[in-house]
């Protein structure tokens, strides 16, 4: 049930920020980070694989893990949450989409230029010299995961090619962070959808918006660190809640 004051708030919104995390892609079959990993990867913790130290120590293990994630993303399709977020942009005067996700499911659902705070799986570069490396068009065949895979070598220096994602301990891309902070300071409504609100500095954006007077709406089936800050807590799956919210606010026509 969508509260009437939330419907009124959305109809009057001028600039909406939508901030998303792994939960928004969960219903597309892309596992979240803090879910138990499936198959052979169950014995690894995502946070210990997603570091420069892990890649330096065992590049085949980390590259194999990211190729498995990439295979999952390539097989996945956007779900109703991605489509509802793309539709939301057509209902409000201004919308900025900020995602922590390294997949491209927002783009495939029709969202224009989402800000990728944690980079993207497809944007590979050399671990040693930083030279961008073209992505092989080969689709990894890794239904179960768990296979070590040697990364390709850099054409310039021979170093290992790494995924273009931000790892723990690395800074966020400066330009993306600046745009995200500026939008957060300008918005009157911020959605936080499918994120555990645990990973900083990204997790500070909803708190920052709330401090600046924006209304914060959280969509998540589980409790998070944002529960006490959010003005509206819509407890449920994003793929159900977001289409329902749009239908309640603007009718069912185009979402």
Write down the least CB distance from residue 18 to ligand OAD, Å. 13
Which helix (H) or strand (E) segment holds residue 18: the answer is: strand 15-20
Q: Based on CB atoms, which residue is closest to ligand OAD, 186 or 231?
A: 231
Q: Which stretch binds ligand OAD (CB under 6 A): 85-93, 128-136, 150-158, 216-224?
A: 216-224
Which of residues 195 and 255 has its CB atom nearest to ligand OAD in the complex?
A: 195
Q: Contacts with ligand OAD in 102-161 (CB under 6 A)?
A: 118
Q: Quick check: helix, strand or coil at residue 122?
A: strand
Candidate residues 149, 221, 229, 248; the one interacting with ligand OAD per rule CB under 6 A: 221
CA distance 82 to 242: 9
Query: Catalytic positions, please?
Result: 118
**Binding residue for ligand OAD (CB under 6 A) from 15, 34, 108, 231?**
34
Query: Minimal CB distance to ligand OAD: which residue?
Result: 23
Identify the CA nearest to 18 among candidates 240, 199, 205.
Answer: 205
Nearest of 4, 19, 1, 14 to residue 230 by alpha carbon: 19
Rounded Cα–Cα distance for residues 161 and 140 (Å) = 16
User: Which region, judged by CB under 6 A, interacts with ligand OAD, from 63-71, 138-146, 193-201, 247-255?
Assistant: 193-201
**Site for ligand OAD contains 165 (CB under 6 A):** yes
Q: What distance in Å separates the CA atoms of residue 212 and residue 205, rounded to the nearest whole number?
A: 11
Q: Which residues ranging from 79 to 98 are in contact with ligand OAD (CB under 6 A)?
A: none
Tokens of 83: 């489509």
**CA–CA separation, 56 and 33 (whole Å):** 21
Q: Is 201:177 a contact under the CB 8 Å cutoff? A: yes
Interface ranges with ligand OAD (CB under 6 A): 21-23, 26-27, 32-34, 46-47, 50, 100, 118, 165-168, 194-196, 198-199, 219-222, 224, 237-239
């Amino acid at each position: 049930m969508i509260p009437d004051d939330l419907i009124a708030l959305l109809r009057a919104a001028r600039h909406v920020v939508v901030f998303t995390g792994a939960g928004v892609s969960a219903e597309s079959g892309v596992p979240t980070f803090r879910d138990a990993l499936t198959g052979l990867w169950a014995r690894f913790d995502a946070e210990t694989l997603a570091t420069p130290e892990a890649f330096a120590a065992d590049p085949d293990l980390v590259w194999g893990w990211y190729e498995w994630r990439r295979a999952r993303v390539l097989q996945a399709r956007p779900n109703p949450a991605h489509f509802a977020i793309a539709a939301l942009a057509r209902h409000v005067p201004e919308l900025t989409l900020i995602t922590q996700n390294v997949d491209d499911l927002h783009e495939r659902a029709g969202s224009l230029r989402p800000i990728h705070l944690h980079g993207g799986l497809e944007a590979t570069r050399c671990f040693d010299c930083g030279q961008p490396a073209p992505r092989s068009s080969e689709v990894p065949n890794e239904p179960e995961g768990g296979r070590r895979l040697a990364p390709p070598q850099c054409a310039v220096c021979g170093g290992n090619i790494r995924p273009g994602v931000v790892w723990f301990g690395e800074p966020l891309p400066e330009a993306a962070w600046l745009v995200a902070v500026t939008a957060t300071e300008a918005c009157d409504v911020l959605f936080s959808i499918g994120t555990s609100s645990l990973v900083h500095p990204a997790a500070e954006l909803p708190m920052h918006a709330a401090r600046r007077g924006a209304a914060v709406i959280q969509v998540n089936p589980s409790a998070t660190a944002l529960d006490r800050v959010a003005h509206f807590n819509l407890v449920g799956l994003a793929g159900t809640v977001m289409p329902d919210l749009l239908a309640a606010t603007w009718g069912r026509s185009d979402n």
